[in-house]
């Protein structure tokens, strides 16, 4: 009877395992659309100077993998973590939290935390804090991005020097021929008028500032892992374009997150978006 019970348990476990294999939560693909293992991705990320991890902001698989990648890279690398989710003028308070000068309640009042901070970013921040890993606020304060959206890049030149320190050095390069920025014009109806150009320009000032922040804090011999929305680094544009303009000889790797109904094969539209592509079922539960 005991043997029959064990056989039944084993058969049930085996059947559940097969079912789980047919319902994976994600698949990893290379830039060419070939399936790749998590271990192979980590082995390649290990050799990078700077990694841009592009997420879908409300995707739980992306956030879980960000934590897993952070933990695994930390085993063989000295890490620095940067994040779009923190704005540069909040760096002092963020550092105070990381060094236990203020508590979580003070962090919440002094830093403009995203609504999904607790579920999606706090685990990484807490891991970094426990392991003495610096966390860098890389993004432009949103009020300056709004100025660009309303008045253009030129309006930033009128800011006092004290405020300009939160932004990449001006003037920044801006190439409207980059497909990512050009597509943003299409979203606005395809009008290339000055007012419409401010939409991609507002994106560009974010990309340029995040790139500037990354290089400002990058240290040779360490790995800089940056968390950002996928649109900021998809197709090797955005943040990466600015990084490569300034430091073309560094080793960069990019990750993106996409959703599909069937994740068994990567759709053509997603091929080439990044060095590694996390493909998640489109009906995956979201964090908000």
List pLDDT tens digits, range 7-65.
Answer: 444 444 444 444 455 789 999 999 999 999 999 999 999 999 999 999 999 999 999 99
Residue 5 pLDDT > 90: no
Model pLDDT for residues 231-265, shown as the tens digit of each residue: 999 999 999 999 999 999 999 999 999 999 999 99
Q: Are 183 and 201 in contact (CB under 8 A)?
A: no
| Phi, psi for 188 (deg, rounded to 5) | -90, 10
Inter-residue contact 168 to 209 (CB < 8 Å): yes
Largest Cα separation within the chain, whole Å, is 84
Tell me 203's DSSP state.
H
Instruction: Select from 234, 229, 241 the least CA-distant residue to 272.
Output: 234
Alpha helices in 82-170 (DSSP H): 91-98, 104-110, 122-130, 142-151, 161-164
Of 69, 83, 51, 93, which Cα lies nearest the Cα of 222?
A: 51
* Domains of the chain and any CATH numbers: 41-281 (3.40.50.11550)
pLDDT band at residue 158 under the 50/70/90 scheme? very high
Between CA 196 and CA 181 the distance in angstroms is 11
**pTM of the entire structure?**
0.91
- Size (the chain), residues: 288
Q: Report the alpha-carbon distance of residue 183 to residue 168 in Å, rounded.
A: 23
CA–CA separation, 31 and 35 (whole Å): 10
Ramachandran region of residue 46, left (φ > 0), alpha (ψ -120 to 50) or beta? alpha
């Amino acid at each position: 009877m005991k043997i029959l019970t064990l056989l039944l348990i084993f058969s049930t476990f085996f059947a559940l395992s097969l079912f789980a294999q047919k319902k994976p939560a994600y698949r990893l693909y290379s830039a060419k659309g070939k399936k790749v293992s998590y271990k192979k991705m980590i082995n390649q990320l290990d050799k990078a100077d700077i990694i841009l991890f592009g997420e879908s902001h409300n995707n739980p698989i992306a956030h879980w993998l960000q934590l897993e990648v952070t933990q695994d890279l930390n085993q063989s690398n000295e890490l620095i973590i940067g994040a779009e989710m923190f704005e540069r003028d909040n760096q002092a308070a963020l550092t105070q939290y990381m060094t236990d000068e203020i508590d979580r309640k003070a962090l919440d009042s002094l830093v403009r935390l995203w609504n999904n901070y607790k579920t999606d970013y706090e685990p990484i921040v807490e891991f970094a804090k426990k392991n003495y890993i610096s966390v860098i606020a890389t993004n432009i304060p949103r009020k300056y991005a709004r100025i660009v959206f309303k008045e253009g890049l030129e309006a930033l030149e009128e800011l006092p020097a004290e405020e300009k320190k939160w932004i990449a050095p001006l003037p920044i390069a801006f190439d409207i021929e980059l497909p990512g920025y050009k597509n943003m014009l299409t979203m606005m109806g395809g009008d290339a008028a000055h007012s419409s150009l401010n939409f991609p320009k507002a994106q560009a000032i974010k990309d340029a500032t995040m790139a500037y922040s990354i290089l400002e804090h990058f240290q040779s011999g360490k790995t800089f892992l940056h968390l950002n929305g996928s649109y900021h680094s998809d197709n090797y544009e955005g943040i990466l374009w600015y990084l490569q303009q300034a430091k073309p000889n560094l080793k960069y790797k990019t990750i993106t997150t996409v959703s599909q109904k069937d994740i068994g094969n990567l759709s053509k539209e997603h091929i080439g978006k990044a060095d590694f592509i996390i493909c998640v079922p489109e009906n995956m539960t979201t964090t908000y």
